[in-house]
Amino acid sequence: MLLPRSLLRPGRTFLKSPIHRLLLGFALLYGLAITWARARCWRDPTSAFFAEDKAYEPAYSLQCGAQAHAFLDHANQNTLPLHFHTKASAHPTICVGITSVARKNATYLQGGVGSVLEGLTATEREPWLHTLVDRVLLYDPDLIDLEHIRELETPEAKTFARKKGLIDYVYLLRACESLHTSYTVMLEDDVVALNGWYHRTKEDLLVAEQKTIEKGWDKWLYLRLFYTEQFLGWNSEEWPTYLLSSLLVALGVVAPATAIRYSRPATAAYLPNKVIAILAFVLTPLIIILFFAAGRVTMLSMAAGVHEMPRFGCCSQGLVFPQTRIGDLISWYEFKRLGYIDLLTEEYADANNEVRWALTPSVLQHVGSKSSKVNLPGEHRTRRTVSETIWNFMFEQNDVGELRREHEQQFEADV
């Protein structure tokens, strides 16, 4: 029995169809794109390929912590270099305040202080350090009702974090304000800082000032040193922008194909109407879907430097305030009397249309699995606590050697 030649060579017959060739080629490329996305986007919390179990594993922050504790061991043994005994200058430019809250079964203050100080050069320490810190701020009984403070520290005080935390923050802000520094860096104790955080912050404060002037603004509220990328994804309120962009992409594919099809009749065999329809209604939508699935942080990543971040900038782990704005903030906090620092600060900024800057990449990491806040939703054994999800994923990709070289080069340039 004789069989049709098409049955003897099914592959060749299949590939003769332009539609089949298009679909096969697209399937191969799409598979490669998905493989790339799985390998590239697993740290992106806004991505469908986000690998939670791997992404939250500490890497660089563990090295920061180890260096900080080694530094503290030297401090305890009085084996620190002599330049740590330099007193603060008469006219410091930056005040660094670190707030601390007692947590059950967790202590972060030593590690936080150690990581902030460990990587600084002798020159960087001199403006504001004495041994480890210039001053441990204690409550002044003439200014603070100590009995009220003790009441707020009891387990029964359910507004503990929202009220006492606010009192402490204002108290520390006032202490920094009294030094008349140009800027105040407010840190929470449950952070670690990368090697070079100080010179990066100092440089980018100048950038923030310059950008403010260039945009015609007369003031700005803060520079954010930490944020978590999980709130920087595709926002539902921006759907009109996404839809319009998707339609423009589809038009950018279909319009040239259609123009070629009708301007050059010889291409009709390769670009029949069915192929154009598949491009418009199947392949292009699949590409758009993969783009969004890859995650906004990956596909529309922010370049290194200073950026506006008027929304989704969580949390209050590290904020730098200009001296000129501290009085306004203190008045606002005292007016509110109750609340979390990050939420109150954003409320003030929104109400007054304030400019908020953020530093990318983050120079701090949040390491506090035990939160200072109480009654947080979602804290149960089968899921990460809310505090544990406050994480900067890019921070963990830092390289110890590269940061050390960057810091040394910066120091040599300043000398």
Domain CATH code at residue 100 = 3.90.550.10
The residue among 271, 292, 313 that closes a domain is 292
Beta strands 364-366 and 318-322, pairing class: unpaired
* pLDDT on residue 379: 47
Q: What pLDDT does 11 receive?
A: 52
Same domain, residue pair 257 and 169: no
**Sequence letter at residue 348:** Y
Residues 202 and 251 in one domain: no
C-alpha to C-alpha distance for 164 and 182, rounded to whole angstroms: 27
- Give pLDDT, residue 3: 45
The answer to whether the beta carbons of residues 258 and 272 sit under 8 Å apart is no
Contacts of 411 (CB under 8 A, 6+ apart): 121, 123, 199
Q: What torsion, rounded to 10 degrees, do the Cα atoms 231, 232, 233, 238 define?
A: 110
| Residue type (1 letter), 273 | N
Do 396 and 309 reside in the same domain of the chain? yes
* Same domain as 207, residue 84: yes
Residue where the block lists tokens 């992106």: 44
Residue spans of alpha helices (H) in 41-159: 52-55, 60-76, 109-118, 122-125, 146-152
Give yes or no: residues 317 and 218 share one domain: yes
Q: What is the pLDDT along the chain (415 residues), one digit of tens a residue?
A: 444 555 445 555 656 677 888 899 999 999 999 999 999 999 999 999 999 989 999 999 998 888 877 777 776 676 666 655 555 566 788 998 888 776 665 566 666 777 777 767 766 655 334 445 666 666 667 667 766 666 666 665 555 557 788 888 998 999 999 989 999 999 998 899 999 999 999 999 999 999 999 999 999 999 999 999 999 999 888 999 999 999 999 999 989 888 888 888 877 777 888 888 899 999 999 999 999 999 999 999 999 999 999 988 888 999 999 999 999 999 999 999 888 999 999 999 999 999 999 999 999 999 876 555 554 444 444 577 888 889 999 999 999 989 889 888 887 777 6
Q: Is 246 inside any structural domain?
A: yes
Element (H, E) at 318: strand 318-322
Are both 25 and 66 inside the same structural domain? no
Give the total number of structural domains in the chain: 2
Q: Tell the burial category of 47 from Cβ atoms under 10 Å away from its Cβ (0-12, 13-18, 19+).
A: buried
DSSP output for 141-159 = TTTS-HHHHHHHTSTT-TT
Shared domain for 66 and 191, answered yes or no, is: yes
pTM for this entry: 0.83
In a domain, 101, yes or no: yes
- C-alpha distances out from residue 364 to 31, 57, 91, 187, 249, Å: 37, 16, 26, 9, 38
Helices marked H in 4-77: 5-8, 10-16, 18-40, 52-55, 60-76
**Are 380 and 253 within one domain?**
no
Q: Is 307 helix (H, G, I), strand (E, B) or coil?
A: strand
Q: What tokens appear for 14 in the block?
A: 């299949």
Residues 67 and 114 in one domain: yes
The conformation of residue 238, written as its DSSP 8-state character, comes to G
* Number of neighbours of residue 368 by Cβ within 10 angstroms: 21
The residue from 292, 319, 338 where one domain ends is 292
Provide the pLDDT for residue 7: 46
CA 341 to CA 185: how far, in whole Å? 14
> CA-based angle 119:225:328, to the nearest 5?
120
Q: Report which of 225, 183, 194, 221 is spatially closest to residue 96, judged by C-alpha positions.
A: 183
Residue 325 domain flag: yes
Residues 19 and 29: beta-carbon distance below 8 Å: no
Within-domain flag for 11 = no
Same domain, 308 and 260: no
- DSSP state, 386? T
CA dihedral (225, 231, 237, 242) positive or negative = positive
Are 38 and 186 in a shared domain?
A: no
The verdict on 138 and 241 lying in the same domain is no
| 3 within a domain of the structure (yes/no) | no
Structural domain for 37, as ranges: 17-47+234-292
